[in-house]
Structure 1
Amino acid sequence: MTKKSMVQVAIGGKVLTMGGADDETHIQRIASCVNHVLQEFEDKDEYRCLPTDLKPVLIHINIAEELIKAQDQIQQLEEDLRLKENELAELRQELAETEVRLERLEGHQE
């Protein structure tokens, strides 16, 4: 059974207890990320003028957008990696064929 970490964090000026299977450092990173997003919005006049009930929705949308961008980037990097792996396999095959040809040529010279 996975041990659950319980960590006290400050988010938006409030002390909360967060729990999870991850270590304390990871949970603190999550809280720090949320605080960073909150601070970015609170620094904008447009955000401060929004009705209170819309503020969390805007933050959720922003975090979801960042998540989708990260997922898209991961997908692109995975595709790039697959292409590079295929290219490497082709180059290895080409190298093996070249080594065989070289061995044949060296065998004919002897």
Structure 2
Amino acid sequence: MITGKVSANDIMGPVGIVQAVGTVARTSILNLLVFAALISVNLGLFNLLPLPALDGGRILFVLAEAVRGKPLPPEKEGYIHYLGFLLLIALLIFVTYRDILHIF
């Protein structure tokens, strides 16, 4: 999405995922299990992105602390994680809005 290789139409939020689960569930239980595994792996990889408020962001802070030799002040780190959280909420609202538009 950022590089232009993936369009906003290719991203699903919670509403789109529920629709996709319904579609896959009508095919077979095996397909549903594979789809559930794909969602789980996808969420795990997303969580490793180096964004504040995610585990990947925490790893980034730990690495930065190791390089600097001292930790970032907790107030600053908290503020950065808060901004990352707001970014994630904004992304959630955006993809959910797009999902709802696809329904109607």
Normalised by the shorter chain, which TM-score bucket? 0.3 to 0.5
Provide the TM-score with structure 1 as the length reference: 0.37
Structure with greater Cα Rg: 1
- Report 1 or 2 for greater relative contact order, CA contacts < 8 Å, sequence distance ≥ 6: 2
Q: Which structure: greater helix fraction?
A: 2
TM-score after normalising by structure 2:
0.38
